[in-house]
């Protein structure tokens, strides 16, 4: 045997060869074997083992084509092995939703199928999610993997693989090989997007289909995700031309989880108030506030208090010295909450300025609007809203807290999902119309969302809506927002969870979303 030092050059060469060989195996670990064949359907060419027979698995409710469809293959040998692919557009917006959607389809024919929470993986150029699935079939358990990723043209591609006998690790390997062997062909023509109403569900489109630069929207998500915990954005929703082009959830929230909307409640209450007003239940906006509550004998009476009318309430210009907003660090907000009768408490407040002379954000004033709805309709704001606003739009109010007299708080405490928040914005974007029904008149929408009085956070204020340059918004503590940009047919929704999130999210549309419009 030669001494070690005489073999160093040989050892070094062998080491390099091993490193290169190992690196090559690592780089190609997800590549499909050379022996595989390929199948192509509607712009998706994918590789798979030989001996598979494929047929359509497109649900009967879909229109098969480039934008929506599905195929599934099984081996001609009769082995228990399944390879399938779905491609979907407006039936699923997020990868998580796509996995759940396909899982629900599978359950219709296979009640014994189960799915585990999704995990992320990267395969080649794609960021994907995958879930382990298990199919009970004839007393045996068939393991598999269901995955989802986005193609460059607005579709979500959902491949799946199951085999018996098999393992989850083997199924994941197969899924990686299938994804890595997929080739995507661009569409011959843009997808024909139809006009619809998102009563039952929203539809989805790729940002590029709606004239957005997807990289600009991604910059916003990157910025959100790079922020410290003092900035907590819980959801982002961007709706262009009625289609969701961006939907993202953080901090344990998802599309079905309701969120407190804080002072966005004010804009909802003013809408319910407007509906009652237009139905003649609430009198003229020139009506004096004290005439609505003739059984009360307020303290601190003077000419200013006697002159308050309903329009002053809507415009946040009633003149009460309430000190219950952020401007006063909510100094007396607890007094409002603790009051046995919030109406009597508010009417007893001293006056700070002449009604209508200037803007003063006042939570107690917004609560009076809810109390007036109850006073004049005989039911709560929630009940009246359910009949004339929430039910027609199929908005589910998870919770709406009440004061000590059982009247829904008019300034806060509604819990709904971001998608239902977007419905409020979409209703106003369409000037009060919803699926052929005028929920609230276009005149009210115009009056409620125009700059009626100079404000502070934004330039102007309407009827419980903030008004900026080219947009109006419902806004709430900790970063709850419904932005409406009529010129761009655009609705943007944010929810959040910290004090500092409000100022941060307020700037996001002008920093990222509007510049991303091509």
Q: pLDDT tens digits for 316-351?
A: 999 999 999 999 999 999 999 999 999 999 999 999
CB 110 within 8 A of CB 160: no
Helix/strand/coil for 389: helix
Tell me if residue 223 falls in helix, strand or coil: helix
Helix (H) or strand (E) holding 14: helix 8-27
The predicted structure's pLDDT at residue 11? 37
pLDDT score of 10 more than 60 = no
Q: 50 near 36, Cβ under 8 Å? A: yes
CATH of 259-513, one of 3.40.50.2300, 3.30.1330.10, 3.40.710.10, 3.30.930.10: 3.40.710.10
Cα separation, 390 vs 425, in Å, equals: 13
Alpha helices in 352-402 (DSSP H): 363-377, 381-385, 391-393
Q: How would residue 18 be classed by pLDDT, with cut points 50, 70 and 90?
A: very low
Average pLDDT, the chain: 92
The length of the chain is 518
Q: Of 3.30.200.20, 3.40.50.850, 3.40.1000.10, 3.40.50.1390, which CATH number belongs to 37-184? A: 3.40.1000.10
Asked if the domains at 37-184 and 259-513 fall in one CATH topology, the answer is no
pLDDT tens for 433-488 read: 999 999 999 999 999 999 999 999 999 999 999 999 999 999 999 999 999 999 99
Alpha helices in 32-94 (DSSP H): none
Asked whether 364 and 349 are in contact (CB, 8 A), the reply is: yes
**What would the 3-class secondary structure string for 234-295 be?**
EEEEEEECCEEEEEEECCCCCCCCCEECCCHHHHHHHHHHHHHHHCCCCCCCCCEHHHHCCC
Question: H or E element: which one contains 189?
Answer: none
Q: What is the pLDDT of residue 440?
A: 98
Do residues 266 and 260 make contact, with C-beta atoms less than 8 angstroms apart?
A: no
pLDDT at 294: 96
Domain ranges of the chain: 37-184, 259-513
The string of DSSP codes covering 326-353 is: GGGTTTTHHHHHH-S-HHHHHHHSPB-S
The predicted-structure confidence for 123-154, as pLDDT tens digits, reads as follows 999 999 999 999 987 788 999 999 999 998 88
Of 381, 363, 388, nearest to 439 by C-alpha is: 388
Number of other CB atoms surrounding residue 388 within 10 Å: 18
What is the C-alpha to C-alpha distance for residues 348 and 480, in angstroms, rounded to an integer? 31
The dihedral over CA atoms of 380, 382, 387, 391, expressed in degrees to the nearest 10, equals -170
Is the CB of residue 146 less than 8 Å from the CB of residue 160?
yes
Strands across the sheet with 44-48, in order?
A: 37-41, 44-48, 183-184
Question: 425 by DSSP, 3-state: which?
Answer: helix
pLDDT in the model for residue 29: 66
What percent of the chain is modeled with pLDDT above 90?
Answer: 84
Q: Pick the range with the lowest mean pLDDT from 172-186, 201-215, 478-492.
A: 201-215
Residue 109 reports pLDDT greater than 70: yes
Share of the chain above pLDDT 70, in %: 94
Reply yes or no on whether the pLDDT at 369 is more than 80: yes
- Position 138 scores a pLDDT of 79
Would you state the pLDDT for residue 13? 40
**pTM of the shown model:** 0.85
Residue 214 near residue 197, CB atoms below 8 Å = no
């Amino acid at each position: 045997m030669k001494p070690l030092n005489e073999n160093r050059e040989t050892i070094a060469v062998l080491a390099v060869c091993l490193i290169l060989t190992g690196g090559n195996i690592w780089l190609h670990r997800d590549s499909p074997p050379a022996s595989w064949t390929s199948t192509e359907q509607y712009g998706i060419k994918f590789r798979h083992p030989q001996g598979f027979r494929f047929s359509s698995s497109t649900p009967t409710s879909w229109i098969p084509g480039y934008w929506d469809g599905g195929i599934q293959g099984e081996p001609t040998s009769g082995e228990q092995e399944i390879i399938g692919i779905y491609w979907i557009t407006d039936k699923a917006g997020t990868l998580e939703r796509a996995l759940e959607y396909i899982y629900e389809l599978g359950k219709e024919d296979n009640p014994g199928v189960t799915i585990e929470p999704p995990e992320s993986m990267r395969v080649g150029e794609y960021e994907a999610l995958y879930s382990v699935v298990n199919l009970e079939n004839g007393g045996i358990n068939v393991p598999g993997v269901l995955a989802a990723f986005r193609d460059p043209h607005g579709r979500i591609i959902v491949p799946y693989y199951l085999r018996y006998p098999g393992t989850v690790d083997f199924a994941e390997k197969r899924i990686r090989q299938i994804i890595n062997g997929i080739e995507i062909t661009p569409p011959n023509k843009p997808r024909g997007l139809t006009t619809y109403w998102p009563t039952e569900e929203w539809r989805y489109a790729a940002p590029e289909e709606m004239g957005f630069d997807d990289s600009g929207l991604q910059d916003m998500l990157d910025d959100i995700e790079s922020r410290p915990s003092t900035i907590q954005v819980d959801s982002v929703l961007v709706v262009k031309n009625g289609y969701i082009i961006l939907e993202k959830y953080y901090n344990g929230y998802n599309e079905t989880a309701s969120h407190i909307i804080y002072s966005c409640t004010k804009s909802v209450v003013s809408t319910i108030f407007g509906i009652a007003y237009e139905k003649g239940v609430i009198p003229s906006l020139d009506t004096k506030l004290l005439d609505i509550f003739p059984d009360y004998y307020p303290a601190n009476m003077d000419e200013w208090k006697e002159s308050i009318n309903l329009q002053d309430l809507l415009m946040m210009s009633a003149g009460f010295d309430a000190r219950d907003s952020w401007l006063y660090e909510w100094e007396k907000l607890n007094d409002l909450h603790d009051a046995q009768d919030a109406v009597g408490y508010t009417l007893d407040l001293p006056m700070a300025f002449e009604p209508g002379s200037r803007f003063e954000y006042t939570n107690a004033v917004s609560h009076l609007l809810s109390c007036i709805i109850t006073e004049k309709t005989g039911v709560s704001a929630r009940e009246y809203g359910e009949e004339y606003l929430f039910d027609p739009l199929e908005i589910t109010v998870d919770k709406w807290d009440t004061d000590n007299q059982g009247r829904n708080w008019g300034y806060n405490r509604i819990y709904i999902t971001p998608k239902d928040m977007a419905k409020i914005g979409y209703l106003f974007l369409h000037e009060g119309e919803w699926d052929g029904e005028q929920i609230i008149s276009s005149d009210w929408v115009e009056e409620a969302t125009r700059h009626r009085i100079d404000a502070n956070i934004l330039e102007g204020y309407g009827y419980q809506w903030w008004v900026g340059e080219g947009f109006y918004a419902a806004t709430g503590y900790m970063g709850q927002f419904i932005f409406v940009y009529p010129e761009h047919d655009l609705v943007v929704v944010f929810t959040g969870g910290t004090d500092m999130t409000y100022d941060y999210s307020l700037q996001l549309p002008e920093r990222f979303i509007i510049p991303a419009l091509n």
